[in-house]
Structure 1
């Protein structure tokens, strides 16, 4: 399941506005999917730090279950900045709850040309021989005004070949419902 979120308040094209509303409703209408109202998602890769701010960017906490096999469940965070030139997503298998540790099942970080020249992408490295793809720890989940709070690390490759360099990405999230 893919979802996209947008919080632009000055969208001029009505069709873009309708698409945005539909995309946001995917993230918020499914049970267990929430669009953060406040808070941050921060990630560090190589010598750079990137921050998504829920007051202006779209950050969603999602829960997904397989329609055919209900035992296959995933949770994660997806974010896109207001300018739509930076996005990040990370997921883990299982059900989310307080004090949850989970192995990383998927992750991707994209920067479009114009944000940093040239644009680039990092994707979860899953090459033979690699045993640790990363971990996500959720300290708190869906309590009072806290949507989700925790930390993560993942190993992302800068290309799609087995020889592509792999970088450790570390981050944190502190997302609020109100």
Structure 2
């Protein structure tokens, strides 16, 4: 159980660090798209000693939508930083989406075990939604939870992957809680994404 939590934590951290690195670089808008992608991957990978897999993309166009508690939040890749990444750690393989808004007040990450491919339906391995609320309550955090009487943690469905100008298109759902206590309420989170290079 502790290994599973550590793996989920590591993947979430990897995803969020990748977005943070890409976000800072995206604000510069001086480098070309390929240079930004390579640098973001290299920086986040070297920090965590994670082996890079092919298929890491910083989106230049498209949206990621996340719905929780009757509110929908949209990340726009034209202004926010949204990345689709593949990560290999030891014998495990993961793919996922990370996003951080331009103001750095909201971030989201979701990952799945396995390889990304067109028409893939994969189990969610980790997910986290963070908000910077205000100075008195600086962070509101939702994280992946095990929910009552069900074994699955959600699904990521890829309709398209790495085809022409499309990085990834699909949907997901998972269940997130505000803390890790056994009786904590959890919330169904649904979302969609259609990410393009430019």
- With the shorter chain as reference, the TM-score category is 0.7 to 0.9
1:155 maps to 2:151: no
**Alpha-carbon distance in 2 for matches of 1:135, 1:109:** 16
- How far residue 22 of structure 1 moved from its aligned partner, in angstroms, is 5.2
Tell me the equivalent position of 1:103: 123
Structure 1's unaligned 5+ residue stretches are 11-20
Q: Deviations over 1:11-69 (max 9, x none)?
A: xxxxxxxxxx95465479x4311100100000100111100000010001000112x32
1:32 to 55, 58, 70: 55
Backbone CA RMSD of aligned residues: 2.5
Structure 2's unaligned 5+ residue stretches are 1-10, 30-37, 46-51
Which is helix-richer, 1 or 2?
2
Tell me the equivalent position of 2:27: 8
Paired residues for 1:1-178 under 5 Å: 2=14, 3=18, 4=20, 5-6=22-23, 7-9=26-28, 23=40, 26=43, 30=52, 31-66=54-89, 68-69=90-91, 72-114=92-134, 119-126=139-146, 129-178=149-198
Number of equivalenced pairs: 164
**Alpha-carbon distance in 1 for matches of 2:183, 2:176:** 12
Question: Relative to 1, partners in 2 of residues 1:27 and 1:118: Cα closer, same or farther, differing over 3 Å?
Answer: closer
